[in-house]
Homo-oligomer: A and B are copies of this chain.
């Protein structure tokens, strides 16, 4: 009798799993130092641009752009994974802010 239930349960489970569609998403993440923190690299680039007679450029700030692919069964779980990646590894939350955009691959 128990075997019967186990069998039915595993069929239902496999059916359920086969209906979960795993999708591939692409995340474009920008990580920038907070506005109140000095950006010497940005300043150096600004001076370089002014030396190239591009004086109309100002307030240059340099950060990281990270592009990655993430597999998930829904956009919200893909968003959670990317958010966790930013919080745990990609961004230094003390000095940096991050924003990201997500699209299907």
Contacts and interface: CB of A to CB of B under 8 A. Distances in A.
A63 B64 contact: yes
A84 interface: yes
A95 interface: no
A102 to B, nearest CB: 12
B28 A67 contact: no
Interface residues of A, number: 34
A37 interface: no
A56 B105 CA distance: 14
Interface in A11-64: 28, 30-32, 42, 45-46, 48-49, 52, 54, 56-64
Interface of A: 28, 30-32, 42, 45-46, 48-49, 52, 54, 56-72, 81, 84-85, 88-90
